[in-house]
Amino acid sequence: MDVLAHVWLGILAVFQGPDAFAVAGLSVSITLVMVAAGFLLGIVVGATPGLGGPTAMAIALPILISVFGFTPDALLPVMGCLIGIMKGATVGGAVPAILFNTPGTPDSYMTTLDGYPMAQRGEAKKALRVAHFASASGDTFSDIVLILCAPFLALLVERHLDLPEKTALLILSLAFVAAVVGRSPGKGLISAGLGLLVVYVGTGEDFYPRLSMGTEALNRGFPIGTAVLGVLVVGAVFHQMAEGFASRSNTSLQPAPKAGNAGRLRWPDIRPLLPTMLRSAVAGTVIGALPGIGSTLAATIGYTTAKARHDRTRAPDAPRFGDGVPQGVAATEAANSAVSGANLIPVLSLGIPGNTAAVFLILAADSIGGFNPGPSVFRVTADAINPELVVAFGLFTCMFVANALNWTVGGLVMRSMGVLAHLPKQRLLPVVLVLTLTAIYVQETRIEAIWFTIAFGILGFGMRLLDMSPLPFVIAFILGAKLEDSARQAFAATGGDAWFLFTSPVAAAFMALSVLVVVLGARRRG
Amino acid sequence: MTTAARTLMGAVAIVLAATATRAAEWTPPGPISMLIGFRAGGGADTQARLIAQELEARHGWTIQPQQVTGKGGLNLAAALKDAPVDGTVIGMVVTETLGYNMAAAGAGLHPDDFTGITTTAGFQMGVVARRVTGWATLEDAIAAAKGGAALRFGVMSPRLADLAYLLGKAQGVTFNIVEMRGGKAVMDGINAGDLDLGFVAGIQAASVAAGDLVNLASALSVPLNQTPEAPTFATLGVDFNADGQFMFVGPAGMSTAARSAMSTAIAEIISDPQTGAGALIASAFGGPSILAGDALQAQMAADYDAAGALLAAASE
């Protein structure tokens, strides 16, 4: 079966999968419904300060799995819904940023700088339209790059990297994430080291449970959901609750300005935005393709690059960035949205998650089964269908369905979400906490899972207090088993050569780069 | 016969009839957790999930498959050992888990801790290599090894690692034995060029038919269905083989009704080539191989007792 046949099967799997309902005799597949539901939910959570895509994905995943089950048919509806949430949240984050000077998601902070002044001038609708147009453009650009790059990167790795080099690549990825996420590479390394320590409890190929201290509860190790949701979601909830208690008296929103009537974008409005958007989309895509660097940095780089260029080229009487310039909104939104597609390049081609959204997609694939992101996904043989490749093209189709929704109804839905910024965070957080713990119990059905999740939540809270990013912890937890397997296999394959990471030039180069990124990261911050 | 004896016999008959009826009409008291001891996406995992799907469709049971992988199925066995005995937790492993792996581990697990429900299929365990290597037989691979090539031999369990070692020993070569997570990972490794040859339990059939892969040997006591010309391990000088089956197992003390209802339901599904599971088992694993009840329990004990000989041979 050639690649085109797999592409076609992937598209059919989305459009002709199990039916949800029929309209005028035409059946609508459950995957399409779930992508749409995820996208709308994503806009809602993105527009709600205190929530965000990862929180919604974390809570939705166990519920989706309990609804759709563990069969291969569940992969596309569940992952399609998560992709919808991921994309919707990126768009929705701009709403409170523009209307209330309160970023709905961290990556839309830069949107406040020009979006809110525009809104104060009575151009709120225009700012929202610019944000939506830039976001949808950046997202679509990034998805196209993903589809073009992921298969080739996977084939490159499959053909040219041997077991020792694959091990070294995993080490490089972890070193890179540890060095670039957060403010200190040292803290990043500690975070990643903790993740590895925890994932190695109870696992391994030996016939005795490792690091379990003789306890029955630790024999099987920590379920992946408890560690990921505990550190990422419960830890964030604890931290936000603590912050809420500390600053209870001054949590008021900026007043909402009048919407104004400067609305529809016309070509003269769009044309000057295009070069800025393109540069931001490229920057966001490149950043997104690198593991660990999130959309917040992409937004910052997109905005500051556009600002520098604007300052150089603007007429003397033209407004500056920060005074309410549409390019400022467009630069931020195109950049942070361009991260989402490119983030899946390392996930699908190497099985390496780059950010929290990708972590939940891997978690979904891992829980449902039948799809193991990595180089083997893109293998094509003459005689048989590769079901994993069909799923991969199905996911690409889901992304374009979400993009189509974004272009058509996304703007309208987004502009109606202003009211959500009034939801009090202190009431939302307990709801998120209870939903997360319930979701964990639904999936694991044993009480230890709840204790593990709360313990990981306390760990995540402590990490945030110490200004240590929990992302390296989570990515190390996910990659830990793969790293151990790969290292064991490389060691065995080289006939027990203890120096297997340094004997091939490519592996040695990856190891040298691993040291280099940490050293450079430390010097940059030191 | 006294009235009391007749009354007693009547009561026994009623109880037996009621038990038989329950066996036929057994319904699980809740959702059934189906633990799968194999990596997601491989042949064994697919088999288990297709059986789960069909059990749901035919009997209205709710089956929740979940991966409990690692340590040759012993992680699953440890999780299953103290599970409820009402049929709500079952697991899919290979006979090797309750035989060689439990004996080798010495981790306090014994086949008596489990109830054998049914086997589903045997393996078509071949020693597989890529056609592009130019090897048509195992002799070609051995010649390459003797010519100085360090051959990487992929296996998916400690028992198979022992067999690969003994094969090399019998042929006068040393393989670099690489343990992978499941037969699909071995096949992926062979296709990617990370491994030179390795054990694959049946999912190689389509690629062998297409000419991409070649079965160099049968690791079974009998020739492979697809390539009967490939020599068996016995003819290659190895006194042991990889015979075994996929099986469903529950905790010890599982109710007879649950065990019987499940084994019957699973046997019906895998014997029907119209079902997804039946078709997969027919194409990849040489058709169903069903052993249930006391015969299966006896086989489990025998496999455990026989493990010592292979361990001793591989330790020499």
Interval B8-40: pLDDT, tens: 444 444 444 444 444 457 899 999 999 999 877
Average pLDDT over residues A158-185: 88
CB contact under 8 A, A206 and B78: no
pLDDT score, position B2: 46
pLDDT tens digits, A292-335: 666 777 888 888 888 888 888 888 888 888 888 899 999 999 99
pLDDT score, position A181: 78
* DSSP code, position B65: E
Mean pLDDT of chain A: 85
Rounded-to-integer distance, Cα A379 and Cα A381, Å: 7
pLDDT score, position B8: 47
Contact B121, B47 (CB under 8 A): yes
Which of the residue ranges A43-52, A64-73, A117-126, B22-31 has the most confident prediction, judged by mean pLDDT? A117-126
Enumerate domains of chain B plus CATH numbers: 3-21+30-122+244-315 (3.40.190.150), 126-236 (3.40.190.10)
Mean pLDDT of chain B: 88
CA-based Rg of chain B, rounded to a whole angstrom?
21
pLDDT score, position B23: 43
Those residues whose C-beta lies under 8 Å from the C-beta of residue A11, and which sit 6 or more positions away, are A393, A394, A397
CB contact under 8 A, A492 and B178: yes
Rounded-to-integer distance, Cα B99 and Cα B150, Å: 31
Contacts of B37 in chain A (CB under 8 A): none
Helix or strand run (H / E) with residue B297: helix B293-315
CB contact under 8 A, B176 and A203: no
pLDDT score, position B199: 97
Burial A22-46 (b: 16+ CB within 10 A, else e): eeeeeeebbbbbbbbbbbbbbbbbb
Contact A128, A111 (CB under 8 A): no
Which of the residue ranges A36-50, A436-450, B176-190, B245-259 has the most confident prediction, judged by mean pLDDT? B245-259
Please name the residue of chain B whose CA is at the shortest distance from the CA of residue A67: B64
pLDDT score, position A501: 97
pLDDT score, position B18: 43
pLDDT score, position A263: 61
pLDDT exceeds cutoff 80 at A105: no
pLDDT exceeds cutoff 60 at B188: yes
Confidence band (pLDDT; 50, 70, 90) for B247? very high
Distance from CA of B289 to the nearest CA of A (A): 24
Distance from CA of A422 to the nearest CA of B (A): 40
More confident residue, A71 or A495: A495
Rounded-to-integer distance, Cα B127 and Cα B137, Å: 10
Nearest to A374 by CA among A286, A486, A477, A472: A486
Contacts of B176 in chain A (CB under 8 A): 492-496
pLDDT exceeds cutoff 80 at A255: no
Confidence band (pLDDT; 50, 70, 90) for A258? low
pLDDT exceeds cutoff 60 at A252: no
Confidence band (pLDDT; 50, 70, 90) for A257? low
Q: Which of A381-395, B87-101, B204-218 has the lowest mean pLDDT?
A: A381-395
Of B41, B104, B189, the CB nearest to A370: B41
More confident residue, A205 or A67: A67
CB contact under 8 A, A370 and B45: yes
Of B40, B150, B188, the CB nearest to A369: B40
pLDDT score, position A487: 96
Average pLDDT over residues B149-154: 96
Distance from CA of B236 to the nearest CA of A (A): 24
Q: How many angstroms separate the Cα of B111 from the Cα of each of B68, B98, B100, B267?
A: 18, 6, 11, 22
More confident residue, A496 or A428: A496
Distance from CA of A204 to the nearest CA of B (A): 7
Number of Cβ atoms within 10 Å of the Cβ of B42: 26
CB contact under 8 A, A493 and B178: yes
pTM of the model: 0.81
Tokens describing residue A362: 């891997």
| Mutation choice for A interface testing from B109, B165, B194 by most A CBs within 10 A | B194
Average pLDDT over residues B55-66: 90
Distance from CA of A446 to the nearest CA of B (A): 12
Average pLDDT over residues A181-185: 82
Four-residue CA torsion sign, A170, A176, A181, A186: positive
- The domain spans of chain A are 3-248+262-525
Residue count (chain A):
526
More confident residue, A25 or B226: B226
Rounded-to-integer distance, Cα A297 and Cα A206, Å: 42
More confident residue, B214 or A366: B214
Of A370, A384, A492, the CB nearest to B40: A370
Average pLDDT over residues A125-151: 91
Q: Residue with structure tokens 């042991």?
A: B240
Confidence band (pLDDT; 50, 70, 90) for B100? very high
Average pLDDT over residues A352-379: 81
CB contact under 8 A, B207 and A488: no
How far out from the chain centre does Cα B85 lie? 22
Burial class (CB within 10 angstroms; exposed 0-12, middle 13-18, buried 19+) of A462: middle
